[in-house]
Amino acid sequence: MNDADVPAWWQRLGLPGLVDVHTHFMPKPVMDAVWRYFDRGAEHYGQPWPVQYRGTDAERVAILRDLGVRRFTALVYPHKPGMAESLGQWTREFAAVTPDCVPTGTFFPERSAARYVREALEAGTGIFKAHVQVGAYDPRDELLDPVWGLIAEAGTPVVVHCGSGPLAGPHTGPGPFGEVLARHPRLTAVIAHLGAPEYDEHLELARRYPNVHLDTTMVGTPFMQALAPLGRETIARLADLQDRVVLGSDFPNIPYSYAVQLAALEDFRLSSEWLQAVCWYNGVRLLGSSLGDERAPGVG
C-alpha cells in the first residue's frame, strides 16, 4: 500500500476518514532542529532516519488532508525550561487557522508550569504532550504534580512518551509514569508508541487505569520492528483493549510513507471493528465529537 491507496483503505472500513493523535507541527526553527537530529539517525539509532515529509506547514497539512486525516495534533515538547509556554501559544495560533488541528499544549517541570497549563486549558487546549525522554525530566517531579492534577480534572488527554524507545532516558520506562498514574488515577493519558519497547508493561497500565490509552505510533512497522520488535502475543492482547488504542503516526517525522503505518496495523490481523475503533472512533472520543458519532458500530 502507498499513500495514494490510503483513502480507499479507510473507505473499505466504512470510515469517514482517519483521526491521528500523534502528529507534529512546530515553529520552524524547532522543527528544523528536530530534522537535523534525525538526519544523524545512523549515529543515534544505528540506522538512517530519513524524514519523509518535509516542506512548509501548509504543504504538510495538505498531505494529511489528502490522506483523509480529519483531525490531527501539533505535538510539541520542550527540552529545557522556558520553552513550553511559548510552544503552547504557537500551537494555539496554528490551530486557530487550521481548524482540523487540535489546539495542543506541553509543559516542563518549572515553577510557572501550573499557571501556564491552567491558562492553556482555559484557552481551549484539547491535548498535551509530555516527552519524558527528550525532556530528560522525572514525571514525578513535585513541580509537575499540580499539572497532572489540572489535566486529570479537566479530562484533557496527554500524550506521554514514557517508554524507553528508541533510546532510554534517565526516567523512562513504566515505573516513573506508573507512579504518576497511581497518584492521579483519573488522568486521561495516551502512552506514545505503545510504550515501546516495554509494550506489555504499558499495556498493564492501561488495564489497571480506565482512562489510559496507547497510540500506535511507528508500532509494527519494519523500521520499528528492527528497534523494538512487537510479538504476536502482545498483538493478541491489543484486541482486548480495542476501546483504548488510538491511531498515531509521528507524521511528518517518519522514515517511511504514512501508508506503512496503516499496513502495519492491518498486518496485526485483528478485526475490522478493531481497526475502525483505532483509526476513527477512539480518536474522535478523545479529541471531541464534532466530527460525528463517536460510537463504534454496535455500541450503545
DSSP assignment string, 52-65 = S--S-HHHHHHHHH
Instruction: Give the pLDDT confidence score for residue 45 in this predicted structure.
Output: 87
Interior CA angle at 55 toward 93 and 214, to 5°?
65
User: Of the candidates 170, 177, 208, 221, which has an alpha carbon nearest to the alpha carbon of residue 195?
Assistant: 177
Rounded distance between C-alpha atoms, residue 88 and residue 189, angstroms: 18
The topology under which CATH files domain 3-287 is: TIM Barrel (3.20.20)
pLDDT at residue 299 tops 60: no
Residue 7: pLDDT over 80:
yes
Supply the pLDDT for residue 159. 98
* Contact assessment for residue 6 and residue 251, using Cβ atoms and an 8 Å cutoff: no
At residue 189, the 3 state secondary structure works out as strand
**Which pLDDT score, from 0 to 100, does residue 167 have?**
86
Q: In what order do the strands lie in the sheet with 18-19?
A: 18-19, 69-73, 101-102
Q: pLDDT-based confidence at 44, cuts 50/70/90?
A: confident
C-alpha cell at 142: 513535585
* pLDDT beyond 50 at 284: yes
For the residues 239-245, what does the mean pLDDT come to?
Answer: 97
pLDDT digits (tens, 9 = 90+) for 100-132: 999 999 999 999 999 999 999 999 999 999 999
pLDDT digits (tens, 9 = 90+) for 195-239: 999 999 999 999 999 999 999 999 999 999 999 999 999 999 999
Phi, psi of 189 (to 5 degrees): -105, 145
Residue matched to cell numbers 472500513: 13
